[in-house]
Amino acid sequence: MNGICTPDRIKGLASALRMTLTVIASFVCLMVSSLPVNAAGPPTPLDKKSFKTVPFDPAPPEAQRHELERVVALCIKTVGEDLPDGHFEASVNGGIVNIVGIDRERFKFWKCMMDSGHPLAPINK
């Protein structure tokens, strides 16, 4: 006998098929779970973060404050263009920038601020 359809070989093929299907199912679950979260809902208090400018100046001169406000407005627009279905908000209070949004929105905003020469640092409460 050449062993083409032996019971042991059939069991081995069935086992290999089950493993393949398990790997495929795991991959599909991983892909679905890594899809972006629907940002259509309003932000929650957990979505609010505050950052200080680097270097931190709690009362920046008027010209510096206007420049910071201009860059914040530019970065809000950038976040809105990149993630149009979001509910991102940002405001400036002295040297503190308060933002509300999901992680992806906050990251895009933070990166835009850094690229514009106004890096931010988290405020440790």
Q: Is residue 40 part of a domain?
A: no
Q: What is the pLDDT of residues 102-119, one digit of tens each?
A: 999 999 999 999 999 999
For residue 26, how many other CB atoms are within 10 A of its CB?
10
Which of 107, 58, 44 has its CA nearest to residue 79?
A: 107
Q: Is residue 91 part of a domain?
A: yes
Range of the domain at 2: 1-35
pLDDT band of residue 39 (cuts 50, 70, 90) is: very low
pLDDT surpassing 80 at residue 34: no
Two tokens, residue 114:
């850094």
How many structural domains compose the chain?
2
The answer on 71 and 117 residing in a single domain is: yes
Q: What is the pLDDT of residues 54-110, one digit of tens each?
A: 888 888 899 999 999 999 999 999 999 999 988 899 999 988 999 999 999 999 999
**pTM across the whole model:** 0.62
Mean pLDDT for the stretch of residues 21-48: 58
- Terminal C-alpha separation, the chain: 76
